[in-house]
Structure 1
Amino acid sequence: MTTGVGPPSIAHELGGLVTTTVTRDGRQRVIDAALAQFAQYGVEGTSLQMIADAMGVTKAAVYYHFKTKDEIVLAVVSPAIEQLVLTLGEAETRRGRATRARAFLSAFVDLVIGHRVLLTLLYDDVAVLRVVRTERPDFDQIADRISAVLVGPDAGPAEEVASAVALTGIVAAAASPDFAELTDAELGAHLLDAGLRLIAPRRRR
């Protein structure tokens, strides 16, 4: 888990999961610029021209790498999805639901804190979800696997809602300026504790 204080800047975030090389090629520059624009204006509020302007290039230069905005959206969020799948797969190998749930939620918290902007887009922007569900038919299956890890494969509506609230709540709280005074370690501990309490099995009365 990282140890900085408060939500990082987009530039800082691009130095991790999204940006993979010091000398970025044109395609990666488009992805970086798009993430910054999406974070500020949302996917629907961002045009290819805005991305080009942010890069200081023509729109034709953007088209050279991506033919549509949907292609850019998918390229922006794909690293987060792949990391999510990797985290999920590792958690699924653990024995016992409680152990699997803690393993996944702990790794999820680390991922969210390290890449707040990207995960907020993935979980909060309906345009992103539309693109992902269209381009990645396995996305709903991934969501089902996450729910199974957190609350079990035979969970009822109440448990599934708790799972969804835990995930979206972690993303929202991590991005909130209200907790900027907390270190990443402190915030991560609180997020994990809250998430585990939300998905804890209910006692029968």
Structure 2
Amino acid sequence: MEVVKNIVWHNATITKEDRHRKNGHKSAILWYTGLSGAGKSTLANKVEEKLFERGYNTYVLDGDNVRMGLNKGLGFTADDRKENIRRIGEVAKLFVDAGVLVSTAFVSPYREDREMVRSIMKEGEFVEIYVAASLEVCETRDTKGLYKKARAGEIKNFTGISDPYEAPEKAELSVDTGGQTLDESAEVVLSYLEEHGYITKA
């Protein structure tokens, strides 16, 4: 990638801390990672719904949706996945600077890529949430028929079948969406945010 010269970071007049005071809550990336079908988008949207009802500024960046615009043209090779995560990490960082609790729902299978995003954030601004449904559970939820196609060899580079998934080793939170209801899983995330001071207790 070509290094662009002669650019200088411009500091905004309104700071992130100013936005925190105005909003009444901290901002952070809630990074949902897990296999396809684990329930990342479903959980992220349920948590957003509950945060929104309580008056918090929140937004969900969904993997498929982002690939329809910002990351259109990127495939599923290791290099394309890395660039996909790099871009969404930078976008999510802007949301955090804007004072938003931003959720990202991406398979993001490689630890190195997730740690790259963590490295560009300040301490406490990256909350990794492992959506820990097993491969067996995910295959039973295969509403898009992706696992069936992957096992038939019709989809290449499919995480969990022909490509690896590297589960987090030090995630801030692990949620068993295979053994909990959606509301129970959402409460696990909300409780973490309350206990660590991102939001106030209900």
- The answer, yes or no, to whether TM exceeds 0.5 is no
- More helix by percentage: 1
- More strand by percentage: 2
